[in-house]
Chains A and B, each alone.
Chain A
Amino acid sequence: MAAQSSSTFANPPNYTFTSHRLHRTLHASDKQPIVLVACGSFNPITYHHLRMFEMANDFVRQNTNFEIVGGYLSPVSEEYEKPGLVRAHHRVNMCTLATEQESSGLMVDSWEAFQNYQRTAVVLDHFDYEINTVLGGVSTRDGEHRDVRIMLLAGSDLISTMSEPGVWSHNDLDRILGRYGTFVIERTGSSMDQATDSLARWRNSIYPIPQLVQNDVSSTKVRLFFRRGLSVRYLIPAAVIDYIKQNYLYLDDGSGPEKEKGKDKESGEAETSLRDGGSLLQL
């Protein structure tokens, strides 16, 4: 796979590529090095997102000749204008808290987050450029150079949109699914076959990964829980819960204040617990 010819990529101000957890040496010289990239809103990041990488890791190790040398979350730009999408710096911060504290191989790239909307194909091109052209790829143990293959990690929802006519440009699909390749986490119980029929020409570089455990905590539900004062503990990392509370995120859905339901607000309960927790420690 030839290195991308120097494209003019627009970088956000003061941008540098995060690479502290990128493996620069391939363990097994007969394996093809790859980097997984998950694009999304991450509004907020959840354990489901982190699980996707774990599942892909297992699948790749047990079924392919790839070796994963890094994994990235790439939060979408604010310009994407989805209702309820909180500021990019919050989403980048939450992703960073989650990956730094709860994973050993994941990183966050803020390239698309901090500028104008960038198409997924362009985001993958940017990774290709940063990792293979700027950093120079990886080496085998005997010093041989290898280019890293950038691959998209996605849920089946995203892939479904790819088979809908007119949503994605053919050229972009050709790059994402053909040139780069994709791992697709299947929804439990629903097979990918129909979705990929229309993407048949790229079948060889689309890798469906069955999900053995249903763990469909979605960001949408998490935001709903926050609005309703319901607990999201054990659905998203504790550090992210703290961040959301400290920054008063997700208290409304962006369409106006909600009438408070139920007997007490969750935050009120939390305050009580903290006071109580304090007095318990003195006993």
Chain B
Amino acid sequence: MAAQISAHKTTAFTNPPNYALTSHRLRRTLHASTKQPIVLVACGSFNPITYHHLRMFEIAKDFIRQNTDFEIVGGYLSPVSDEYKKAGLVNAHHRVKMCTLATEQESTWLMVDSWEALQNYQRTAVVLDHLEYEINTVLGGVSTRDGGHRNVQIMLLAGSDLISTMSEPGVWSHDDLDNILGRHGAFVIERTGAALDQTIDSLARWRNNIYPIAQLVENDVSSTKVRLFFRRGLSVQYLLPASVIDYIERNNLYPDDGSCTEKDKDKGSESGEADITSSESSNVRGTLGKEMTRLSTN
């Protein structure tokens, strides 16, 4: 077990054409030399990015500052590859662009990494390894104020949905879980009111590296709902950045399907509720399906 947790040997990573890690907001100097530098990475579809995604980073930032000895030196959104083939997933370059608009204009420390987005599907464990390679091997990590060198710990930032799939047998490979949860580590934003205790029980061997974070404000604006609102001509103002709304409208990414016209439409809300539920569950099945496919080809 210990051998698997040792430093990763150099792996050959495939890069998209003309790829370079975005690092303009990566802090290269540690403020407090007693702290362990970390980078947070959120993997997902970001189809589209919403304020909920951005909030996750803020919530994690507060938690880390008030409860741990970590120091965040950067945060990344890593949109998934088009190859993931989820229904309704818009082109990767759009999703990268929307994430970039959101982070550049509405955050001071977040960045977007397009490494997995612009190539074949890459497993989450590999994405974390790639960022570790870019930040620690290529860029050389960070320094303390007195010039000492530190490696950055690359940690996953996820919602409890993702972590739930990790406790389901057969979805994730054991090696990958060992890498993600054991070697790298994860912060998990809990759904309001639903504690993570049971989920983490089945991931007990990695318990020390999984940090549950309680969510104090319920804010369940999901990308699924945002897409639904666009299709129905409903307002998404204040659910995601205005610049992203503009981008979506200009590129007609989630076309109004005309299912909800003015006045003449009657009682659309019941079927609407069903839509939300069925879309959510099919998304989860999609996630499970893909990891299982990867599993069988390994």
Contact = CB atoms under 8 A, between A and B. Distances in A.
Interface of A: 47, 50-51, 54-55, 57-58, 61-65, 102-103, 210, 212-217, 221, 224-225, 229-231, 233-235, 238, 261-264, 266, 269, 272-273, 276-277, 280
Contact of B66 (A64, A214, A264): A264
A210 B108 contact: no
Contacts of B108: 273, 277
Interface stretch (B165-173, B178-186, B219-227): B219-227
Given A50-B238, A58-B235, A277-B108, 5 more contacts: A215-B239, A216-B219, A221-B216, A235-B219, A262-B66
B237 A266 contact: no
Q: Which of A65, A212, A229, A261 has the most CB of B within 10 A?
A: A212
Contacts of A224: 216
Contact of A216 (B218, B234, B239, B262): B218
Interface in B187-221: 216-221
A214 B218 contact: yes
B263 interface: yes
Contacts of B249: none
25 contacts: A51-B238, A54-B237, A62-B233, A62-B261, A62-B265, A63-B263, A210-B269, A212-B225, A212-B229, A214-B220, A216-B217, A216-B218, A216-B219, A217-B217, A221-B217, A231-B62, A233-B55, A233-B107, A234-B54, A238-B106, A262-B67, A263-B67, A264-B66, A280-B24, A280-B27
Contacts of B61: 231
Given A58-B235, A62-B263, A221-B216, A266 B55 contact: no
Contacts of A261: 66
A54 B235 contact: yes
Q: Which DSSP category, helix, strand, loop or mixed, fits chain B's interface?
A: loop
A264 B217 contact: no
A217 B262 contact: no
Contacts of B5: none
A234 B51 contact: yes
Contacts of A216: 217-219
Contacts of B285: none
Contacts of A51: 237-239
A142 B58 CA distance: 53
Which 6 A-B pairs give the minimum distances between C-beta atoms?
A262-B66, A54-B235, A231-B58, A234-B51, A47-B238, A214-B220
A263 B234 CA distance: 43
A74 B192 CA distance: 31
Contacts of A269: 65
Contacts of B269: 210
B109 interface: yes
A51 B234 CA distance: 11
Contacts of B272: 212
A278 B235 CA distance: 37
B260 interface: yes
Contacts of A63: 263, 265
Contacts of A233: 54-55, 58, 107
Contacts of B239: 51, 213, 215
B7 to A, nearest CB: 28
Nearest to B26: A280
Given A65-B263, A215-B239, A273 B109 contact: yes
Interface string B105-136: 01111000000000000000000000000000
A210 B273 CA distance: 11
Contacts of A61: 262-263
Most buried by B among A62, A217, A238, A273: A62
A88 B144 CA distance: 47
Residue among A58, A213, A262, A269 facing the most chain B CB atoms (10 A cut-off): A213
B105 to A, nearest CB: 10
B55 A235 contact: yes
B25 A234 contact: no
B276 interface: yes
Contacts of B248: none
A178 to B, nearest CB: 24
Nearest to A238: B106
Interface string B77-100: 000000000000000000000000
A81 B133 CA distance: 58
A54 to B, nearest CB: 4
A187 to B, nearest CB: 11
Contacts of B27: 276, 280
Given A215-B219, A215-B221, A234-B55, A102 B238 contact: yes
B292 interface: no
B242 interface: yes
B249 to A, nearest CB: 14
Contact of A213 (B109, B216, B220, B268): B220
A249 B296 CA distance: 57
Q: For A50, A63, A210, A238, which residue has the most chain B Cβ atoms within 10 angstroms?
A: A63
B59 A231 contact: yes
Interface string B230-262: 000111011100100000000000000000111
A263 B109 contact: no
Contacts of B106: 234, 238
